[in-house]
Structure 1
Amino acid sequence: MATTSIFTVSSRQLPNGRSQHLHCPSRAHDTADPNRKHFGPKEPMPHHRADLSSFAASVAARLPGTWTSEYHQHAAYRDQFPLGEEVWDNGLAYWALSEFVLRHHALLNGPAGQQLCVIDRPLHRHQFLVAPLRDENLKPHHFDGVGEPNGIKVASDPLRAAAAVTRRLLPHYRCALLDVRRNALEQPEPPLLHAPPEADQLVTLFWYEDGVLGTPYASVPEEARIHLYAHGFQYHPHRAAFLLPTAYGVDGRALRIQAVAHQLATQGIGVNLRHAAPAANQVPPAPPTTAPATASGKPRTTARR
């Protein structure tokens, strides 16, 4: 059945003094088919995503240089995990790969080892995410100090998307690649830390049961004592020890320990920090269940008669 709408006419005054007539359909007189389906906010209209495969191929054809496109479908959720490890992004692309199940992705391979991934943008059916990938030939320490070039969101129009990638993504990606490849040339292997040689002298600081931090005076090398004094340790004659006052607080004592350890290290003196063995660990032997026998073989008793 055809829909007949009756228009009402209203007018408004324009700035130039003329009147403009507005024709508005009157819904009260809508004679539409009562069986016609209307879509409301709780029942969204059916929608379909833009095709990722053809979109990626069209974008690759419009990027500067020679680019090719590879389309990959995911048979299972775990198929997207490797891509999440390789994506050089800490924004939208990384979020999408870590928080959503993606059915597929496309890889764009360009000149000089450049690689981009294209994925659907979750919750936006007419948008995609394009993000750079790390160079798989480089090691993790080569990326230290280099910021992520990050990906961008693009519309489903390949022409506009290619222009956005060329202008906003590729320049940052190329600069980041230059930085990490320079790092690889300057430091091919990771800077491993090796164990230092053993110190000839050693100062051991103890945490005692009562919360006191200190060390016996006699165990401190003579040339180290001046540094303990300088960093707040006090000598207590009645305990024959250097003690760090609790009045400094937890943070204050931590800073002084760090400072004195650094100062002593420059003098070739090592510093250890450990808890003192509690005296309560020395458990006295249990009393015998029977009194020890005397020479006559009779048990000794201490009871008075």
Structure 2
Amino acid sequence: MHHHESDSDPGRLASFADVLAGELPGTWSSTYHPPEHKDDLAELADRVWDMDLVAESLAQHPLRHAAVLTREDGAQLVVLDRHDERDGFLIAAVAPRDIPREAFRGMREPDGIALSDDPFLSSESVAGDLLARYDAALAQVRHNSTDLSHEPDSTRPSQLERVVLTWQADGSLAAAPTADTAAAVLLANGFVHDEQTGTYRLSGDDTAAQARAVRQAGVQLAAQGITTALQHPAARPAPTATTPTAPPPQARTSNARSR
């Protein structure tokens, strides 16, 4: 039977992530972000390195809480609720902050996976599947970043080779004016061109259809060497004087057993 309470049970998600951290190869810490950490969760959702299962879930179910697993070298995974008829969770890679956007050009995302509610079995799936692909992707973007640092500015990839989709207040997605190739892909997947602003918008009235369109557009853009990113608007209202201060994240560190 599906645990419907999982969506609002922070202890279940936090406990699962804590045990999972101790089962992964290497040394990982687990940090739980409760609903009060709105800015942290929004920034985390922006950095989820996925254009498949987890991106579709986030398109339909905004991130209410999450647990971040951090390895000693800085690599991060995020554990979040699974919103379907099955028990368990979703887990995805988190893109590094310190890598220039151009380094991701043409890269396939190390898409996340679904997990059962057994952290011991789940650790095998993460280590043998997601973690292997994540480490390979990290190595590639870091290599790309090193190459970029040695290139003259005139030879660096244009920012038009990256499409950024920004969530709007009404649930739609908007993409800034972009190159003809990317524009054609967006239009073919349900985006509508706004002649006045030059932006391309995708309605959020049907979240399932919206998620499918984003996934399909991401695959087609990647085939053209164009990366895609989902983000929330950069500007957020400043907290008022009456806004309670969120407690610090609850960090747990576990040393994995040697294998």
In which range does the TM-score fall when normalised by the shorter chain?
0.5 to 0.7
Question: CA–CA distance in 2 between the matches of 1:191 and 1:134?
Answer: 25
Higher relative contact order (CA 8 A, sep 6+): 2
Per-residue Cα deviation, 1:12-35 (whole angstroms, up to 9, x for no partner): xxxxxxxxxxxxxxxxxxxxxxxx
Question: What secondary structure does 1:108 align onto?
Answer: strand
CA shift, 1:125, in A, is: 5.5
Code of the aligned partner of 1:165: V
The equivalent residue for 1:48 is: 5
1:193 Cα deviation after fit: 4.7
| TM-aligned CA deviation for residue 92 of structure 1 | 1.5
Q: How far does residue 144 in structure 1 lie from its aligned partner after superposition?
A: 0.9
**What pairs with 1:157-172 in structure 2 (closer than 5 Å)?**
157-172=118-133
| Equivalence for 2:89 | 128
Tell me the number of residue pairs that the alignment of Structure 1 and Structure 2 aligns.
151
Which of 139, 148, 151 in structure 1 is aligned with 2:100?
139
Q: CA deviation at 1:48?
A: 2.6
Partner of 1:68: 29
- 1:173 is aligned to 2:134: yes
Structure number with higher helix proportion: 2
- 2:194 maps to which residue? none
* Segments ≥4 residues shifted beyond 4 Å: 44-47, 76-79, 189-194
Query: Which residue of the partner structure matches residue 116 of structure 2?
Result: 155
Amino-acid identity (%): 36
Q: How much does 1:112 deviate?
A: 2.4
Change in Cα spacing, 1:99 to 1:78, as seen in structure 2 (3 Å) is farther
Q: TM-score of the superposition, structure 2-length normalised?
A: 0.53
Task: Tell me the SS of whatever aligns to 2:79.
Answer: strand
Give the gaps of 5 or more residues in structure 1: 1-43, 195-305
CA RMSD of aligned residues (A): 2.5
Query: Residue in 1 aligned with 2:215?
Result: none
Could you tell me which runs of 5 or more consecutive residues in structure 2 were left unpaired when the two chains were aligned.
156-259
Q: What secondary structure, in the 3-state scheme, does the structure 2 residue paired with 1:130 have?
A: strand
Partner-residue secondary structure (3-state), 2:140: helix
Q: 1:47 to 1:181 in 2, by over 3 A?
A: closer
Cα separation, 2, equivalents of 1:76 and 1:133: 17
SS of residue matched to 2:99: coil
TM-score (norm 1): 0.45
